[in-house]
Amino acid sequence: MSSDILTRAGSIGSATLRNRMIRAGTSESMAEPDSGVMTEPLLALYEQLAANRVGGIITGHLYAHPRGRYARGQTGIHDDEMLPGLSELTGRVHRHSGIIFAQLAHAGSQSRVPGNDPLAPSPVPNPLTGNDMEEASEAEIEEAITAFAAAARRAVAAGFDGVHIHGANGYLITEFTSPVTNRRDDGWGGSAEKRDEFPLAVVRAVREAVPAGFPVTMKMGMVDAVDGGLAIEESVRRAGVLVGAGLDAVEVSCGLMQAPTDSANTYVAVGPRRAATDMLVHRLASKPRPEAYFRPWAQALRAQVDTTVILVGGMRTTQTMAEVLESGDADFVAMARPLIREPDLVAQIEDGREGQVDCTSCNLCLIHEGHHPLQCWRTPKVRLLQHAAYRLSGGFRRAEVIPTKH
Ligand SMILES: Cc1cc2nc3c(=O)[nH]c(=O)nc-3n(C[C@H](O)[C@H](O)[C@H](O)COP(=O)(O)O)c2cc1C
Ligand code: SF4
């Protein structure tokens, strides 16, 4: 199949993207560790993506409130002091005619910052961090909603082209939408419709905080990876409600996770030969995961809700990416890991590259989240040795982050 469709311009609300390839939100662990302020290496990372013609860039999750901070080194959008760095970021991307959306996030009970006071709808411990939680008060819920709105206002002031609300992957919004983590029996929970209320309040508050026509999108956790969790029917109905409240696009992902690999599947489309050349010993003992693994949820969304659909998760060949778009299942494809390993991938595809991307979804980059700046740990090969040395020396246990249970 020809890849031409990948290089056609497309729109998200009032934003025009030069092609259909989006850089999915990818946390960088590269901001000033304590303050969340932008750094020069972070600016350079984004400038490189923009210079390499990525159609639309979604930032790594930016914490909208200190209690919603995921890890040290995460970039903040919680305070006006972040504005100079964020403005410099949009300036660097716009210099290359790029489009950049700010991903607004609150990590909820998934915060890995030691000593933080995380927030959750109900007293349900987080399976990934082990954080024990208390039920959020009415005032705390209102404070979180206000923080999303204030973050959106800052994104506009900093020159972003849109905001992307993080409503997936076990963070606060998914904790309100899941029956497993939302055990409330008040206006915020107790039925599927009441579980709409928190994301709805966030979307409305963000919409009010930005100028008319400013693009507002959401990454939605459509299905939980836990027993008794959120199911696709409820999410598709909810997506319709949120689009009605002003979302311009929905990126399809998973909700509550048992492990980070529920969102970032391992060894996507990696055959034995590819596993051997990338020294993926573990892959030889397990099966590769299929490409475009969230596609059935995009199809369910497409069938019922009239909105722009972004599909993330396991885009590994230009053929699959083009076929997803040709079929109408999605309007854009988004990639995280392939652009860590090959920041110039989109430029290569625009220039005619076809076939499989280099990333083998080994997830070393994910394991090092919060420990080291974002990078591919398989190339150059010396990085594999650095990874082994860190692991063997107990680095993951020593570090100042609450370890994610894999
Ligand atoms: C190192 C790393 C960091 C991530 N950080 C974020 C993030 O900040 N926000 C987000 O929405 N998703 C984040 N994700 C999930 C990705 O956006 C994406 O949904 C997932 O990796 C599947 O897409 P892929 O197969 O293209 O990597 C992250 C994934 C990785 C590997
Ligand atoms: S470490 Fe490199 S090859 Fe492994 S998932 Fe991350 S980007 Fe892909």
Mutate to test the pocket of ligand 2, among 29, 289, 368, 378 (most ligand atoms within 8 A of CB): 378
Measured from CB, residues less than 6 Å from any atom of ligand 2 are 337, 340-341, 359-365, 376-378
Task: Please confirm whether the linkage preceding 373 is cis (ω < 30° from 0).
Answer: no
User: What distance in Å separates the CA atoms of residue 257 and residue 227, rounded to the nearest whole number?
Assistant: 10
**Dihedral sign, Cα of residue 81, residue 84, residue 85, residue 90:** positive
CA 31–ligand 1 middle distance (angstroms): 17
- What's the pLDDT at 404? 67
Ligand nearest to the backbone CA of 378: 2
pTM over 0.75: yes
Residue 72 has φ and ψ, to the nearest 5°, of -60, 145
Neighbours of 312 (CB within 10 A): 26
User: What distance in Å separates the CA atoms of residue 225 and residue 245, rounded to the nearest whole number?
Assistant: 27
What residues contact 167, with CB distance under 8 A and at least 6 apart?
A: 173, 174, 177, 199, 202, 218, 219, 220, 221
Mean of the per-residue pLDDT values of the chain? 96
Q: Give the orientation angle of helix 138-157 with respect to helix 83-94, to 10 degrees.
A: 50
Which residue CA neighbors atom 29 of ligand 1 most closely?
A: 26
- 405 falls within a domain: no
CA 254–ligand 1 middle distance (angstroms): 11
Ligand nearest to the backbone CA of 57: 1
User: What distance in Å separates the CA atoms of residue 96 and residue 393, rounded to the nearest whole number?
Assistant: 42
CA 403–ligand 1 middle distance (angstroms): 17
The residue-averaged pLDDT of 74-101 equals 98
- Give 377's pLDDT tier (boundaries 50, 70, 90): very high
CATH code for the domain of 166:
3.20.20.70
pLDDT tens per residue across span 157-197: 999 999 999 999 999 999 999 999 999 999 999 999 999 99
Domain that holds residue 320: 4-398
Burial of 71 by CB count in 10 Å (0-12 exposed, 13-18 middle, 19+ buried)?
buried
Ligand nearest to the backbone CA of 310: 1
CA 337–ligand 2 middle distance (angstroms): 6
Q: How many structural domains are present in the chain?
A: 1
Measured from CB, residues less than 6 Å from any atom of ligand 1 are 24-27, 60-61, 103, 166, 169, 219, 253, 263-264, 312-315, 335-338, 365-366, 369
- 404 falls within a domain: no
* Nearest of 331, 298, 336, 332 to residue 316 by alpha carbon: 336
Percent of the residues in the chain that have a pLDDT greater than 90, as a whole number: 91
Ligand nearest to the backbone CA of 219: 1
CA 239–ligand 1 middle distance (angstroms): 21
pLDDT tens per residue across span 58-72: 999 999 999 999 999
Which residue CA neighbors atom 8 of ligand 2 most closely?
A: 359
- 406 falls within a domain: no
- 120 falls within a domain: yes
The residue-averaged pLDDT of 311-319 equals 98
**Beta partners for residue 309, in sequence order:** 250
Q: Which atom of ligand 2 is closest in space to residue 362's alpha carbon? A: 4
In the block, tokens 């990525």 appear at 54
- What's the pLDDT at 286? 78
* Nearest of 93, 88, 15, 91 to residue 53 by alpha carbon: 93
**Dihedral sign, Cα of residue 281, residue 286, residue 287, residue 293:** negative
- 312 falls within a domain: yes
Contacts from 396-403 at CB under 8 Å and sequence distance 24+? 396/367, 396/371, 399/370, 399/371, 400/72, 400/114, 401/71, 401/72, 401/112, 401/113, 401/114, 401/370, 401/371, 402/111, 402/112, 402/113, 402/114, 402/129, 402/130, 402/131, 403/112
Strand extents, DSSP E, 329-398: 332-335
Please say whether the beta carbons of 232 and 223 come within 8 A. yes
- 254 falls within a domain: yes
Coil, helix or strand at residue 23:
strand
- 393 falls within a domain: yes
Q: Is the pLDDT at 403 greater than 90, yes or no?
A: no
Which residue CA neighbors atom 2 of ligand 2 most closely?
A: 376
User: What distance in Å separates the CA atoms of residue 332 and residue 217, rounded to the nearest whole number?
Assistant: 13
* Nearest of 370, 309, 381 to residue 341 by alpha carbon: 381
The residue-averaged pLDDT of 358-380 equals 95
Q: Is the pLDDT at 406 greater than 60, yes or no?
A: no
CA 333–ligand 2 middle distance (angstroms): 18
